[in-house]
Chains A and B, each alone.
Chain A
Amino acid sequence: MKIFEDLQTTAEIALVKNNLAEEIKELGADKLLQCNQCAKCAATCPLVLAGFPFFNKRIIQAILIGARETLLNDISIWACQSCNRCTDLCPRNVNPYEVILATRRMAVREYALPALAVEGIRSLYDVGHAVYLSESGNPRRKLGLPEKPPTTLSFSNALREVQAIMRKTVLADLGIIPMEESANF
Chain B
Amino acid sequence: MKVGFFVGCNTAFNRPDLEKAVRYVFPALGIELDNLEGQSCCPTWGTMPSIDLVGWCALGARNYAIAEEKGVDMITVCSTCHGSLARTAYRMQTSPEVRNKVNELLKEVGREFRGTARIRHAVRYLYKEVGPDEITKLLKHRLDGLTVAIQPGCLSLWPKEVFIDKEEDTFHPKVLRELCEALGVSAPHYKQLLECCGMGGMRSTDMEKSFRLVERKMTSMKKEINPDLIVTGCSSCLIQFDTSQEFLQKKGRIYFEIPVLHYMQVLAICLGAEPKMVTGLSRTPVDNIIKRILQG
Contact = CB atoms under 8 A, between A and B. Distances in A.
Interface stretch (B7-15, B118-126, B135-143, B288-296): B7-15
B47 A46 contact: no
A81 B37 contact: no
A144 B50 contact: no
A131 B7 contact: no
A139 B19 CA distance: 12
Contacts of B52: 105, 169-171
Given A46-B213, A136-B16, A157 B38 contact: yes
Contacts of A144: 20, 277
B105 to A, nearest CB: 5
A84 interface: yes
Contact of A104 (B12, B50, B204): B50
A136 B219 CA distance: 32
Contact of B212 (A50, A117, A121): A50
B225 interface: no
A126 B198 CA distance: 28
Contact of A81 (B10, B201, B212, B277): B201
B43 A124 contact: yes
Given A81-B201, A114-B205, A133-B13, A150 B37 contact: yes
Given A120-B47, A132-B9, A158-B38, A139 B201 contact: no
Using C-beta atoms within 8 Å of the partner chain, give the interface range for chain B: 35 or more
B41 A130 contact: yes
Interface string B22-48: 010000000000011111110111111
Interface in A32-50: 46-47, 49-50
- Which of B83, B111, B196 gathers most chain A CB within 10 Å? B196
B158 A84 contact: yes
B226 to A, nearest CB: 23
Interface stretch (B53-61, B67-75, B179-187): B53-61
A78 B109 contact: no
Interface string A112-148: 0110110011001000111111001001101111000
B170 A88 contact: yes
A134 B92 CA distance: 34
Given A124-B47, A149-B19, A168-B105, A82 B83 contact: yes
A4 interface: no
A166 B53 CA distance: 12
Given A130-B41, A151-B40, A165 B105 contact: yes
Given A75-B205, A158-B38, A170 B55 contact: yes
B291 to A, nearest CB: 21
23 contacts: A50-B209, A80-B202, A82-B200, A88-B160, A88-B170, A104-B50, A104-B51, A120-B47, A124-B40, A131-B44, A136-B12, A142-B280, A145-B16, A150-B38, A150-B39, A151-B12, A154-B37, A161-B109, A162-B62, A166-B55, A166-B59, A169-B58, A171-B48
Pick the 9 closest A-B CB pairs, nearest first: A158-B38, A169-B55, A83-B154, A131-B9, A79-B205, A46-B196, A87-B159, A128-B40, A84-B158
Given A124-B43, A164-B108, A165-B62, 18 more contacts: A78-B201, A81-B196, A81-B201, A83-B158, A88-B158, A108-B51, A116-B204, A120-B44, A130-B9, A131-B14, A132-B13, A150-B39, A157-B38, A158-B39, A158-B40, A165-B55, A169-B58, A170-B52
